[in-house]
């Protein structure tokens, strides 16, 4: 009886961790998409009639790598903080406290 209780507790913890990893994955995916959109928007702006065009050093792939790399690092750090710390610490507090903690971070 005791072993089954431990197994059930482990399954609950495993599901919670799996849910948190899925949340982090969603945050990462969204930020990587945003990084691509920003790069593509910059590329389009540089090729409008109102721009003098890109500089000789401009590279779409380099810009894409920088923007998506920054989005990846930011999403990993910020998303991990939100999912694994803020959600756990402020789980039983009012929603306003959670919003304030996220805004201050």
- Residues 6 or more apart from 75 whose CB is under 8 A from it? 27, 28, 30, 31, 32
Give the pTM. Answer: 0.75
Q: How far apart are CA 17 and CA 84, in angstroms?
A: 9
The pLDDT value recorded for residue 8 is 58
Q: How far apart are CA 44 and CA 6, in angstroms?
A: 57
The two tokens of residue 37 are 């959109």
| pLDDT tens track for 29-64 | 999 999 999 999 999 999 998 888 888 899 999 999
The pLDDT value recorded for residue 75 is 93
Q: How far apart are CA 41 and CA 19, in angstroms?
A: 33
Instruction: Answer positive or negative: Cα dihedral of 38, 44, 50, 52.
Output: positive
Q: Could you tell me the residue ranges of all domains in the chain?
A: 2-104
Please give the mean pLDDT across all residues of the chain: 85
């Amino acid at each position: 009886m005791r072993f089954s209780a431990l197994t059930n507790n482990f399954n609950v913890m495993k599901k919670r961790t799996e849910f948190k990893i899925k949340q982090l994955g969603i945050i990462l995916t969204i930020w990587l998409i945003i990084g691509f959109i920003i790069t593509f928007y910059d590329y389009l702006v540089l090729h409008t009639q109102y721009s003098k065009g890109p500089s000789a050093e401009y590279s779409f792939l380099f810009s894409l790598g920088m923007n998506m790399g920054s989005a990846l690092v930011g999403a990993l750090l910020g998303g991990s903080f939100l999912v694994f710390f803020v959600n756990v610490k402020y789980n039983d507090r009012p929603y306003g406290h959670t919003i304030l903690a996220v805004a201050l971070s």
